[in-house]
Structure 1
Amino acid sequence: MALMTSERLSIRQVTAADASFILSLLNEPSFIEGIADKQVHSLEQAVKYIDDSFTKSYHDNGYGMYLVSLREGEIPVGICGLIRREYRDDFELGYAFAKAFWSKGYAQEAVKTVLNYGQTVLEAKEFIAVTSMDNQASIKTLERVGFVFNCIEKLAAYDEESRLYKLTVEL
């Protein structure tokens, strides 16, 4: 059941039934290069990853990363949501889309929907987002929705330096 919807997208919790899509997404070269190699190489590992990350976050934090699907046909296109890191005390926006669905405005539409949810339901006043140093597509998406470059930081979750963006909202 959809937790959020936009004009073209439906956004809901990721379940074990989504393991095939998650396996495919996590192994796209652009995901591995731009985000990380999660070392998920089978359906069984994908189910475990869903349980250990997505489901755990819903349980522990009340939110997390969500499956983004086209409303028409419920075709999964990516993931988008809010992350709570153990070493940070803020709402971190995260997203990744299957390459076949790039350049169609889905990331921007999903990000706006998730940010609205964060503001209205979770009462978040500030969001951060992290990109790899040269991920121009994500940088453009973040800037289009109002994020502003804040600093270059070496975050505990990543091996290399990252670009940190912030968005402050008025409730």
Structure 2
Amino acid sequence: MFKIRKNNEVETERLILRKLKNDDFETFASIVGDDEIGKQLPKGEGYTYEEAKRWLDRIQLSWNENNYGVWGVINKESGNLIGYCGLNKIEELDEVEVLYGISKDMWGRGYATEAAYSSLRFGFEQLNFEKIIGLAKIKNIASINVLKKIGLKYKKDMTIFRIDVKYFELTREEFNNSCK
């Protein structure tokens, strides 16, 4: 199931992807503040309260400026915020990436894959992007597997923001062909 709702929200079988609100901040800060999640973020450890607030502000600004960005991932069954996912413009590469992070207590249930695939679909079908990339730290096997499951193809290893990553990409044509 993939349904576009008002305000560029997306509904899937188990999730609602919606813009993060200021009311989400405490839960968002606890998710990105977890060192286990944070070690996969650019900083390499959990974000402080202030860093989480700055990131949430940037996320909200992206939606206002670009009409796309990072959503909060809501578990439909519980109604709880369980993570974030969406599309992020990387100015240094002039490319759009799919990104995601799920609360540690929700790992292993396929939520990251479901949310990331829906983000790709939104980017290709609603925003008509020609290409979407994915970046994962070289040792982040779980994230690399998510990128592969949603159809992105490994292209190269690279360094960005002084971090060694694996670079994946998928074109709209490849995405459309995979949906047939």
SS of the residue corresponding to residue 39 of structure 2 reads: helix
Q: Does 1:119 align with 2:119?
A: no
Q: Looking at both structures, which has the greater relative contact order when contacts are Cα pairs under 8 Å and sequence separation is at least 6?
A: 1
Task: Give the letter aligned to residue 117 of structure 1.
Answer: F
1:78 Cα deviation (Å)? 0.7
Counterpart position of 2:102: 97
Seen in structure 2, the aligned counterparts of structure 1 residues 115 and 11 have a Cα distance that, compared at 3 Å, is same
1:14·1:67 contact (CA, 8 Å) conserved in 2? yes
Following superposition, the deviation at residue 62 of structure 1 comes to: 1.3
Unaligned runs of 5+ in 1: none
**Matched positions, count:** 167
- Aligned partner of 1:89: which letter? D
> Mind listing any 5+ residue stretches in structure 2 that lack a counterpart?
1-6
CA deviation after TM superposition for structure 1 residue 48, in Å: 4.1
Whole-angstrom distance in 2 between the partners of 1:94 and 1:109? 12
Which residue of the partner structure matches residue 19 of structure 1? Answer: 25
How far residue 125 of structure 1 moved from its aligned partner, in angstroms, is 2.1
Residues 65 and 83 in structure 1, CA contact (< 8 A), matched pair in contact too: yes
Residues 40 and 136 of structure 1, relative CA distance in 2, 3 Å threshold: closer
CA deviations on 1:99-143 (whole Å, 9 max, x unpaired) are: 101100101111111111111110012110000010000111111
Per-residue CA deviations over 1:74-108 (Å, capped at 9, x if unaligned) read: 11111000001222222211111111011001011
SS in 2 for 1:49: helix
- Match in the other structure for 2:168: 165
Higher strand share: 2
Report what 1:28 is aligned to: 34
Contact 2:39 2:46 in 1 (8 A): no
- Secondary structure in structure 2 of the residue aligned to 1:154: strand
Tell me if structure 1 keeps the 8 A contact 2:34–2:47. no
Q: Normalised by the size of structure 1, how large is the TM-score?
A: 0.89
Q: If the length of structure 2 is used for normalisation, what is the TM-score?
A: 0.85
Contact 2:33-2:52 within 8 A present in 1 as well:
no
Q: What is the alpha-carbon distance in structure 1 between the residues aligned to residue 95 and residue 23 of structure 2?
A: 30
| Aligned mates of 1:131, 1:2 — CA distance in 2 | 26
